[in-house]
Structure 1
Amino acid sequence: MSGKKITRLVSTAVAKRSATLRYYSSTNKINIDTPLSKPLPGISVVKGDTKFDSHSKTQVTKLSNGLTVASEDHWGQFATLGVLVNSGSRNEVAYLGGINHFLEKLAYSSTDKFQGKQEISTLLEKYGGICDCQSSRDTMIHAISLQKAGLDTAVEILSEVVLRPCFTEEEVEQSRQAIDFELETLSMNPNKEIQMMELIHAAAYRQNTLGLPKMCPPENLPIINRDLLFTYLKHQCTFDEMVIAGSGMHHEELVELAEKYFTRSPSWSNMQLDTQYRKDKSYAQYTGGLATVNEDLSNVSLGPTPMPELAHVCLAMESCSHQHEDFVAYCVLNALMGGGGSFSAGGPGKGMYTRLYKNVLNRHFWIENATAFNHSYADSGLFIFYGSAHPHRLADLTAVLSAEFKRMTEKIDKADLARAKRQLQSMLMMNLESRPIIFEDIGRQVLSSGHRKQPLYFYDAIERITESDVRNVATKLFNSPVSVSALGTLNMLPDSHVIKSMMNLDKPSLASRLLYNRR
């Protein structure tokens, strides 16, 4: 198209728009020069629904049977709701590890009323709905998102799935096969973050609570059965350990539906089950220690393209629980350290200006990954450095990470701290624009504390964090023994006493200092 023709088209469009404005102005007696910041003369101002003023406040109701209902109303045609149970792999100390992994795979199977996943999916599809179940070390979550018109159906499905599952032998066997396939896929995946998080928790909380395996150990796959699953549910899945949370509905409606469907006794209440088990109420005991898996990863790949052989190491120390006064400071410290893979950049907390990028990945070309994590639970927490490099550089990688661990206690650049706080605040507010995340935030906070703190509370708490606060929590980390995990060809992994020396804040390792100054 020629330049003259484009000019004629643009001129025609401008002329038509000017004519439209002149017509609208002449017929409605409106000055077209009125700025957008002011209402047009003669046009009434639309007022919002004053009945919706309380939508930003989480309402909490406790039913007579001990069940808690929490929700917030929001504009829109869809809602997200679900059931959170204060139960996870940490509660399996008296059982075979992997029960919660099985329960996750068995979710939305047959119940007293529904024949199976197909019938449940068909019901939800009428309202554009989807369902999901996720288990973690401390929480089991069943969630549904759908149109608001299907709330009654959603709450009924949740009550059946959580309180009245059937767990047929066929369904248990299908879940067993699914878990076996998942474990095999993980072993072939070059990304070893999931396995490393398992190992570092096992090292930090040796043989207790948070150190128990989240993934079902292969040796337990053929042993876990229907009776054991119901026995676990009978003791851990009780009304006083549950929260029904919702985002996008009237609170009174959700309470009414909870009373309608969640007052019947669970299906396992009348079963003859093993009586030797009791409800687990144990506290996390941080021990520190070493957990390693010596494995040849030279042929690990999900496709025909070979991947570089890597060895992986984690260094960790105890931080704090999510209810502790230092929790926000540890979150800021985590954002300050940031990190990621050698090719990843961008995103809150992962930018090229975080310390693990500037001081580690940018200085040591042979390091493939250096990332900081902060895991917080009801009674403990874990601050972790995770790194990957070729197996023959494993000793150097450990030294570099330990040196950077200790540098957290030193002076912090003002611009770095301000950037970390802004990144954390933006990530907080951006995530909470999503309805499913709001639902999970409501449920987790109410389950752990009985109420929900609004996002602005945490935004302001982040803003108040100072350099002194961050350095103080970094120093507190060294009050606990170090935890170490490693995976891969580990011939070059330093001995545990050498790693402890590297992580000694009072006696800095000469090797660590020399390695850190390499370019």
Structure 2
Amino acid sequence: HRPVAAAAAPARPLSTELESGAWVPATEVTTLDTGLRVVSETIPAATVALGVWIDTGSRYETPSNSGVAHFLEHLAFKGTKKRSKAGLEEEVENQGAHINAYTSRESTVYWIKTTADKTEWALDVLSDLLLNSRLESDAIERERGVILREMEHVNKNMEEYTMDELHDVAFEGQGLGLTILGPIANIKGIQRRDIHTYIKTHYTPDRIIVVGAGAVEHDELENLAAKYFAPWAVEDAPPAFNTLESAPDAGGETSADFRPAFFTPGERRQNLDKQDLCHVAFAFEGAGWRSPYALPLQLMQNMMGSQFDRLAPVDHSAPFFQEVGLRGLMHSCNATNIAYKDTGIFGMYLKTDPNELTRDAAPEPVLPALMEALIRHFTRFAYDVSEEELYRAKVTLPPTPTPTLG
């Protein structure tokens, strides 16, 4: 049996008021005996958003099962022991609720938004999806085609494609380098037993957080989570370690063991047909969201400028955007700051036409001029940041840190 966590005890609220006087809702955290955590923020509202965050994603996969987390997320909505696919869709629609899910490199999330009086119903639905999915063979076969079409759409989006390539280079041979959808061969070959093994290994209470925000009281959420997620116990699953500490020997590694990522500098160039523009992802090793450097990197991202588009010119205050706009160095770009548990990617995604020339007095090819300007503006953060620029970055920083292009 898996050791149970400490007895349930609420954590102290994180904050209620900023120095500026702005009100911030208190965050309450409770750990149940099973290890499942319950987190809530009570906000005056008529609605409630509820979600289940699972500490697993493509990072915890291997080349042989890459894509299984995303495949499983799709299957959760295809029918349970209590609800058929059509019955679930009709029930959610009749309740006026919204339900969805997504998979990222480090998380799988199922969420629902509804009115405050339907909180228990919503948790019943979420727990049913996660505990009682049928995973029928027919549904698995049908979903292969759906995911393959999704892959076609993703690969046509050059921004997503380029960022996947960046991860593959930056974390070569590691889980963070794998794509979320997985390769075509895996999508075509994943079987029910592969999905079941993944559930047993990763969908365990110690890796799960039930979250509520809006018109919800923490005690109510805690009691409902204990009621509806009580059966969540997988006795014969191998231990799943999701902390940064070294995991004890569990008699052999599983894909659930946390492996620190290592940034691998490199370069990759691809000549793709039917592409008029050059798509570039340029990045340094960033910082994990637990790192003391996480906030400074967000400020640097803000100072580089969050987004530039030649077709939608605005009065950019960021020196980099001012220069590239004046010299005509590129079509568009996004400053990128992706934070994971223990590492990150900090840089820029941009598009330019390598056949164009700069608008300088002595015109030169755009691409080398752009890369020179990009490196120069990144390195200047070490010695040339004014108090005014830093203040502007602080006051315009989004209230909730949100990694870009994750």
TM-score (norm 1): 0.64
Partner of 1:214: 180
Q: Is the 8 A contact 2:34 2:233 kept in 1?
A: no
Partner of 1:105: 74
Which of 386, 389, 394 is 1:416 aligned to?
389
Identical aligned pairs, as a percentage? 28
Which of 182, 196, 219 is 1:252 aligned to?
219
Determine the C-alpha separation between the residues in 2 that align with 1:84 and 1:163.
14
1:277-426 equivalences under 5 Å are 277=254, 279-298=256-275, 309-338=276-305, 339-344=307-312, 352-360=316-324, 362-392=325-355, 393-424=366-397
Per-residue CA deviations over 1:313-359 (Å, capped at 9, x if unaligned) read 1111112111111111111000000142223456xxxx611233112
TM-score (norm 2): 0.81
Q: Is the 8 A contact 1:127 1:149 kept in 2?
A: no
Determine the C-alpha separation between the residues in 1 that align with 2:38 and 2:30.
5
Displacement of 1:284 after TM fit?
Answer: 1.0
Q: Is the 8 A contact 2:60 2:255 kept in 1?
A: no
Change (3 A) 1:395 1:104: farther
Name the aligned partner's letter for residue 166 of structure 1. R
- Return 287-296 or 244-253, whichever deviates more: 287-296
Determine the C-alpha separation between the residues in 2 that align with 1:167 and 1:356.
50
Partner of 2:167: 201
Partner of 1:239: 205
Structure 2 stretches of 5 or more lacking a match? 1-22, 238-251, 356-365
Determine the C-alpha separation between the residues in 1 that align with 2:40 and 2:264.
38
Partner of 1:449: none
Determine the C-alpha separation between the residues in 1 that align with 2:176 and 2:112.
28
Name the aligned partner's letter for residue 371 of structure 2. T
Partner of 1:69: 38
Structure 1 stretches of 5 or more lacking a match? 1-53, 299-308, 432-436, 442-519
- Return 278-287 or 375-384, whichever deviates more: 278-287
Displacement of 1:222 after TM fit?
Answer: 0.8
Higher helix residue share: 1
Name the aligned partner's letter for residue 259 of structure 2. S
Q: Is the 8 A contact 1:55 1:73 kept in 2?
A: no
Per-residue CA deviations over 1:178-237 (Å, capped at 9, x if unaligned) read 121122223444xx1111111111111111121121232223221112211111111111
Partner of 1:428: 399
Displacement of 1:240 after TM fit?
Answer: 0.2
1:470-509 equivalences under 5 Å are none
Determine the C-alpha separation between the residues in 2 that align with 1:266 and 1:126.
32
Determine the C-alpha separation between the residues in 1 that align with 2:203 and 2:139.
20
Task: Give the secondary-structure state (helix, strand or coil) at the position aligned to 1:294.
Answer: coil
When Rg is computed on C-alpha atoms for both structures, the one with the higher figure is 1
Displacement of 1:106 after TM fit?
Answer: 2.2
Which of 97, 100, 121 is 1:132 aligned to?
100
Per-residue CA deviations over 1:138-162 (Å, capped at 9, x if unaligned) read 0111000001121111111111112
